[in-house]
């Protein structure tokens, strides 16, 4: 290293986000397909997500066509696929509430009462 060389910063340290240097637990309610995009961006930023699917489930059940149900199913499969690729987890807390971890730095453990 020369006198004016800089040491490179390691942005992949565990438990830190390279953009904000913080990890948040965020709550997101899914009302439309665009909300899944917000969810994906938060996972890419390394945040833990508590996801409420009840609004979009109500919309999908209320419509006669199966298009919205298929979109919901496809988006959930994409989220599961992302989590599997990056070591994250998806678990169901309640009927339509999911807890999603973004990577292998966070593990979920199930406790029985």
List per-block mean pLDDT (blocks of 10 residues) for the chain, which spans 113 residues: 48 50 89 86 91 86 66 82 87 90 83 63
Q: How much is the pLDDT for 13?
A: 47
Listed residue (14, 45, 112, 36) closest to 80, CA to CA: 36
**Is residue 63 domain-resident?**
yes
**Is residue 56 domain-resident?**
yes
**Is residue 37 domain-resident?**
yes
**Is residue 9 domain-resident?**
no
**Is residue 15 domain-resident?**
no
* Residue-range definition of the domain harbouring residue 72: 25-101
**Is residue 17 domain-resident?**
no
Helices H / strands E in the chain, number of each: 3, 4
Is this model's pTM higher than 0.85 or not? Answer: no
**Is residue 5 domain-resident?**
no
Q: How many residues belong to the chain?
A: 113
Indicate which CATH number applies to the domain containing 33.
3.30.110.150
How many domains does the structure of the chain reveal?
1
**Is residue 97 domain-resident?**
yes
Q: How much is the pLDDT for 72?
A: 78
Q: How much is the pLDDT for 79?
A: 84
pLDDT in tens, 63-81: 655 566 777 788 888 888 8
SS3 88: coil
């Amino acid at each position: 290293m020369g006198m004016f060389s800089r040491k490179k910063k390691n942005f992949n340290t565990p438990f830190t986000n390279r953009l904000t240097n913080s990890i948040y637990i965020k709550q997101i309610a899914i009302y439309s397909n665009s909300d899944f995009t917000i969810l994906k961006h938060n996972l890419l930023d390394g945040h833990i997500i508590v996801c409420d699917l009840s609004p979009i489930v109500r919309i999908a059940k209320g419509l006669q066509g199966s298009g919205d149900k298929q979109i919901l199913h496809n988006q959930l499969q994409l989220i599961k696929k992302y989590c599997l690729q990056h070591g994250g987890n998806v678990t169901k807390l309640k009927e339509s509430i999911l807890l999603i971890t973004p990577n292998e730095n966070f593990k979920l453990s199930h406790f029985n009462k």
